A = this chain, B = another copy of it.
C-alpha cells in the first residue's frame, strides 16, 4: 500500500468516527468523505461498503480498549483493575451512540476472526483475576459482565447523564458485582 493510501485510510477512519459518533450511523458517507478531505470514491475504495466502514471504526475502538486493558492487567491491585476498566469504558461511551450500538452487535458475533475477541479476552482476564483476589463475586462469568457493561454503556447515552449520575449508577452496579 502506498504512503498516501495509508494516510487516506487513517483520515477516513478518523472522520468516520467523528461523524458517526456525532450524528449516529445514519449519517451519510459523503459527509465522512468531505470531513476527511477525500473524494467519495476513495472512501469506497478503502471500505467497499458502508457497513465495512462502520465495522472498521468499531474495530479501532475495540483495539484501543484492549490496549488500555493490558496496562491495567500489568499493574497491581487486581481487585480494582476490573472496576477501573468498567468505569473507563462507561465514561468513554457517553455521547458515542453509534459506536456503542455497533459494539453490541459485534460482541454477539463469535467469529474467531472478530477483533472484538481481543477485547473479550481482556475482560475475561480482568474478571477472573479480580475474582481470584476476592474483588468480584464468584457466581458470575463473562457473559453477565458483558451484558451489564454494555447495558451501562447504553445507559450512559441517556439525555440526563452527567458525572454525578454516572457515579451513583456505577455505585449500584459495582455493589451488585462485588461479593456480598
Contacts and interface: CB of A to CB of B under 8 A. Distances in A.
Interface of A: 26, 104-105, 107-108, 137, 139-140, 143-144, 146-148, 150-155, 157-161, 165, 168-169, 171-177, 180
Contacts of A104: 154, 157-158
Given A160-B108, A175-B175, A180-B175, A168 B154 contact: no
24 contacts: A104-B157, A105-B159, A107-B158, A107-B159, A108-B158, A108-B159, A108-B160, A139-B171, A143-B165, A144-B168, A146-B158, A147-B155, A147-B160, A148-B152, A148-B155, A148-B169, A150-B158, A151-B169, A154-B155, A173-B176, A174-B176, A175-B175, A175-B176, A176-B176
Contacts of A155: 147-148, 150-151, 154
Nearest to A25: B26
Interface residue SS majority, chain A: helix
A31 to B, nearest CB: 15
Nearest to A177: B172
B148 A154 contact: no
Most chain B CB within 10 A, of A107, A152, A157, A172, is at: A172
Nearest to A167: B144
Contacts of A150: 154-155, 158
A110 to B, nearest CB: 9
A96 to B, nearest CB: 14
